[in-house]
């Protein structure tokens, strides 16, 4: 129920932005900033760059709101975030060092964060993206498929494979 309300709020905000109400961007930020940061981090692997991706994503939403054709607002926004993350990597032309995932809560101790990041580093880029979208962004495989431009079946398979690798890592 809350996800549907959030989805509607984001969709209404995109439409308002398309009509010139740039203040509506604050609703998208409130509802989606953590998910955008998680998606960005899964690509750039750096907290500071993920924050840049968040800012670039919000600017891109302002720029492209008129081209939004309806559908799944969350998937549309997270697709923009993912594309912005890859744009940043191409711009930097370097591998970003892994830092603490912003989605890890502040009360998680440093050792637990290190173990978590170490476990995520055992996954392929696609597996890591699918797991972040599924676990932290609460996306369904259909939404993940839209965001990553893969099939829902491929999303499920990548998720299962990634979870299997994480289980092996923790064993």
Copy the structure tokens of residue 110: 């440093």
pLDDT tens digit sequence for 58-116: 999 999 999 998 889 999 999 999 999 998 888 775 333 333 334 344 445 566 666 77
**Distance (Å, rounded) from C-alpha 100 to C-alpha 151?**
30
**Distance (Å, rounded) from C-alpha 126 to C-alpha 112?**
23
Identify the pLDDT of residue 113. 64
**Are the CB atoms for 148 and 127 separated by under 8 Å?**
no
The domain locations on the chain are 2-170
pTM over 0.85: no
Q: Which residues are within 8 A (CB) of 91 and not within 5 positions of it... i.e. 6 or more apart?
A: none
Length of the chain: 171
Average pLDDT, the chain: 83
Q: Based on the number of CB atoms within 10 Å of its own CB, is 167 exposed (0-12), middle (13-18) or buried (19 or more)?
A: exposed
* Sign of the torsion formed by the C-alpha atoms of 107, 86, 166 and 142: positive
Predicted confidence (pLDDT) at residue 122 exceeds the cutoff of 60: yes
Q: Based on the number of CB atoms within 10 Å of its own CB, is 51 exposed (0-12), middle (13-18) or buried (19 or more)?
A: middle
Identify the pLDDT of residue 104. 45
Q: How far is CA 8 from CA 4, 30, 111, in A?
A: 6, 13, 39
Taking Cα atoms as reference points, which of 56, 55, 79 lies closest to residue 68?
A: 79
């Amino acid at each position: 129920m809350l996800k549907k309300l959030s989805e509607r709020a984001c969709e209404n905000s995109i439409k308002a932005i398309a009509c010139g109400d740039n203040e509506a961007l604050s609703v998208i930020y409130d509802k989606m900033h953590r998910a955008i940061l998680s998606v960005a981090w899964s690509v750039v692997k750096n907290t500071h760059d993920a924050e840049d991706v968040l800012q670039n994503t919000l600017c891109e939403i302002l720029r492209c709101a008129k081209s939004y054709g309806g559908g799944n607002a969350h998937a549309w926004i997270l697709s923009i975030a993912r594309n912005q993350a890859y744009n940043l990597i191409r711009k930097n032309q370097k591998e970003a060092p892994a830092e603490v995932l912003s989605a890890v809560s502040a009360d998680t101790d440093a050792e637990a964060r290190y173990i978590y990041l170490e476990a995520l580093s055992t996954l392929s880029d696609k597996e890591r993206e699918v797991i972040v979208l599924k676990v932290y962004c609460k996306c369904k495989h259909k939404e993940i498929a839209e965001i990553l431009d893969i099939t829902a079946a491929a999303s499920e398979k990548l998720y299962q494979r990634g979870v299997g690798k994480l289980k092996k890592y923790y064993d």
